[in-house]
Structure 1
């Protein structure tokens, strides 16, 4: 069965913060010039924001540049940071670093503790209001190329396949989405992004990318344990001195607390389990005091690109570009 095709000026693969921000900015620029640019965004999750997992402290500067009146539009940035604490943990104790000695990246005055999935959902609403065609529930399965070897879009995955990958009785072929320019914003180690890096040697001259895994839980805690706006970062226990890792506790609104742990994926101990380290982390007195008597509402994990500027690939290639975590 032949695949149908749709044509757009710009196609964006991935409905996270980078993909949606790019879609919004494209529409803004087109409107400023009195032009009509068709922008399509596809997202593998059933709804925008459903696959976003992050314990997030958000600097609103970029959002202010993108949507200056975000407060009036009801953006879900509700909890301003009121206090930073950086703790060095031993198995039973903790020592707090003086706030005057903290690097800028750990000073969050003016930032907000957010549920990033809610922020992304709101960004999706802003994009649709500007005329972006947003299609959740569709994953980019295949990159399409023109005769000159440039990217000309993607194809979505077939529906109604049997377990062995053969077409079933309700098979429907994927849709081809063609565009003059395609932006890939799939997140960390996106499968299409990896293919593009290999095809166009985008990693030539760049350091290897390094990765961590972040595990996060959302808790509803007792009111007496809740301190809205408190940001806690920790180092030390339960990691040994040879393994990169650290934890966080972010106090949101409505008695909600995000607690999480990050482990670098270059650990050498074959018996180390990031999940088990997260469970140990929650037993530390400085962490447990917030969670005692509370209820875990949700949990999950995601990969994190951690290599920094020296690990960035080339971002531009014929017919498209990498943005967000797809770019590292």
Structure 2
């Protein structure tokens, strides 16, 4: 199957890429075939509900999103930031990056499903239930598309009665929007040496649950973030708790994977957090609806790899555009996709030429344009906040105050990262 653009992943960045490309094609009166591969059974199937969305990019992408029925129905009403001790809590000033005035608490899965509807209305083809399993290369070594995995393989490894061979999807440009640590993206990073010359990526494990709680415990529109207990001061991490609509709350706990204690269990720390005297009452009498976990890219601007290669590029969290101090990555992932779409539409020739399909072309203006965008400025401003926590909680908080209130992101230095796995201690120590 041949397309102008093949997109791997129907998350916020992949869907935004498709929408913006289709919009630009309409503006330029060009025919453009676009498809998205999504490994989930439906769009949003692998995205656990509960996020705070800064609508800045959505305003740029679809200015009339309210009229189009975007599922942004719960504006943030209040923010709370707590330092937890074992038996109590101390209210702290909310860091400026975490102020949520004008933002919305959303179901990210529902938001992605709505974006998918907008994309399909523009003629984008979305194939849920098909995971990209292999990168396809041409004779020059350029990416020419992806292939899905075979389906219907029996336990013995042989094709069964329902066997269906994988399908090759050939694109003049292939866009990888797999999210953090995507399997194909890791191959691309090795093949094209995309991480050469940048700081090592640093990760966290994020665990999230969606609960339905008693009405008397629910405060729609309220958000809370915590640091401190149950983690020790040498371990980076914290929690969030967002009150969505319909007596639901999304609760999560993230721990940086550069912790040194080999006995630390992130899941157990999450359970301890939920049993804190100030947290437990929220969940009493409630029931857990869903749960999940994922890796989180925390390296910021220092760890963003080379974004382009012959035949394709990286967007969204697969490249690491999360704003860690904001605890937000959806608006940044979407913005990276919009910038990439502008580069790709100019890269592809107007007419398709089978002798020179353009698969080997590289969208080199994409990273250049990113550095001129508000996205780059936003990430540059907070670049030193996460690395300082390598020295512990108190040094991290002190540096965060210095960066946020005095230097305001204009420090004449840039802090580096260490490799997560090198920080792990020995179980015998």
TM-score, normalising length from structure 1? 0.95
Q: Distance in 2 between matches of 1:236 and 1:20?
A: 36
1:264 to 1:125, Cα distance in 2 relative to 1, 3 A: same
- The question of whether the paired residues in 2 share the 8 Å contact of 1:81 and 1:110 is answered with yes
Counterparts of 1:305-324 in structure 2, within 5 Å, are 305-324=297-316
The answer to whether residue 105 in structure 2 is matched with residue 110 in structure 1 is no
SS, match of residue 15 in structure 2: helix
**Structure 1 residue 55 and structure 2 residue 47: aligned?**
no
Where does residue 423 of structure 2 map in the other structure? none
Structure with more of its chain in strand, by fraction: 1
Residues in 2 aligned to 1:15 and 1:326: alpha-carbon distance in whole angstroms: 12
Which stretches of structure 1, 4 residues or longer, exceed 3 Å deviation after superposition? none
Match of 1:72 in 2: 67
State the distance in 2 between where 1:87 and 1:322 align: 36
Q: SS where residue 286 of structure 1 aligns?
A: coil
Question: How far 1:267 moved relative to its partner?
Answer: 1.5
Q: 1:38 aligns with which of 33, 37, 43?
A: 33
* Higher RCO (CA 8 Å, separation ≥ 6 residues): 1
Equivalent in the alignment of 1:84: 79
Query: How far 1:105 sits from its partner (Å)?
Result: 1.6
Say whether the 8 Å CA contact 2:6–2:173 is kept in structure 1. Answer: yes
- The count of aligned residue pairs is 320
Q: Does 1:146 align with 2:138?
A: yes
SS in structure 2 of the partner of residue 249 of structure 1? strand
Listed as ranges, the matches of 1:94-133 within 5 Å are: 94-98=89-93, 102-133=94-125
Please say if residues 50 and 244 of structure 2, whose CA atoms lie closer than 8 Å, have aligned partners that are also in contact: no
Runs of 5+ consecutive residues of structure 2 not aligned to the other structure? 321-429
Deviations 1:107-144 (A, max 9, x none): 00000011101100111111111100000000000000
> What SS is found at the alignment partner of 1:72?
coil
Asked if 1:19 is matched to 2:14, the reply is: yes
1:236-247 paired onto structure 2 within 5 Å: 236-247=228-239
Partner of 2:194: 202
Give the C-alpha shift of residue 286 in structure 1.
1.6
Residues 31-79 of structure 1 deviation map (CA, whole Å, 9 limit, x = unaligned) = 0011110001010000000001263111011011101111111111111
Per-residue CA deviations over 1:135-160 (Å, capped at 9, x if unaligned) read 00000000001111110000000011
For the residues of structure 1 that align with 2:22 and 2:206, how far apart are their CA atoms? 33
Q: Which protein is richer in helix relative to its size?
A: 2
Higher mean displacement: 267-276 or 310-319: 267-276
> What is the distance in 1 between the residues matched to 2:283 and 2:211?
7
